[in-house]
Amino acid sequence: VNPPNKTQPETVDLANKTFEINSRQMLNETLQISDSHSLRSFLKNKGITPKAYLSQSTTFDNENEDTSKYIYGKEIGRGGMGAIISTHDVDTRRNIVTKILLRTASKKALLRFIEEAQITAQLEHPNIVPIYEIGVNKEGNIFYTMQHVKGDSLQKIIEKTENQAEFPLSRFLQILVDVSNAVAFAHSKKVIHRDLKPDNIMLGEYGEVILMDFGLAKILTNDDPEDVEELIEAVTSTRTEFNEML
C-alpha cells in the first residue's frame, strides 16, 4: 500500500509566495492601466453616468467632452510665486482650489514650490490645510490642489471687529490654541513654518481654524547644525526685541 501523498511545507510556502507575487503584479498592472486613463473616459466607455451631484448649482462652466480632471474658475488670490484659482474636481465633484506656479525659470522657486506642497501634504492635522494632488498641467506648469477653506483670514476679522461683543476674547484665545496645536504638530515633525501671521490663519465657515501657506517652511535636520543655530538666533532676537518693548 502506497503511503498518502503529503505536500511538503516548503512546497506550500513556495506556492503561496508565487500566488502572492502574481497577485501583486496583476494589481500593479491594473493600477497602471487605471492611472493612464481619466475617470471620465472610463465612464464614457462603460456607458455609466453617476448621479451623485448634491447640488445642481455651480459657478463653473458645464462639463464638456474634454477629459480633463479639473475645470478652472476665477483667480481668487495671488502671491509672489503662484496664483490661487477656484477649481472644480470633475472626478470627485467637489470644489477645491489650485495653486499654480507662475514662474518656472528659477530652479530655486520651482524647488520651493514643490517642497511647500510636499511638506504641507505630510502634515496631516485638523488645523493644517490638506493637500490633494501635485502635478504638471498641459502647459507644463506645476500646480497643487488643496481644500477650499471658505471663510475669512484672522487679519480680516481683526480689521472688521469693532468691539468685543462681535468677537469675544474667548474666541481669539481658542484660535490661538488651535494654531498652537498646528504649530506644535509641525514642530514634532521638525518643520518650522517661519511665516506665522493673521493673514495665514483662516477661520472657516464652520468655525474651523486652518493654518495656511508653508511656502517659507524649513525642515530642521540633525545633519545640519546651522539649522538649529539659525533657529536659536531667531528666537533670541525675538525675545530681545520683546524685552525692549517692555
Q: Which residues are catalytic?
A: 195
Write the CA distances from 37 to 193, 194, 224, integer angstroms.
37, 40, 43
- How buried is residue 20: exposed, middle or buried, by Cβ count under 10 Å (0-12/13-18/19+)? exposed
The widest CA-to-CA distance across the chain, in whole angstroms, is 100
Q: Residue 112: phi, psi to the nearest 5?
A: -65, -40
How many CA atoms, within 13 angstroms, populate the side-chain half-sphere of residue 171?
A: 14
- How buried is residue 207: exposed, middle or buried, by Cβ count under 10 Å (0-12/13-18/19+)? exposed
Write the CA distances from 2 to 5, 6, 12, 246, integer angstroms.
9, 12, 22, 97
**Number of helices and strands in the chain (H, E):** 6, 10
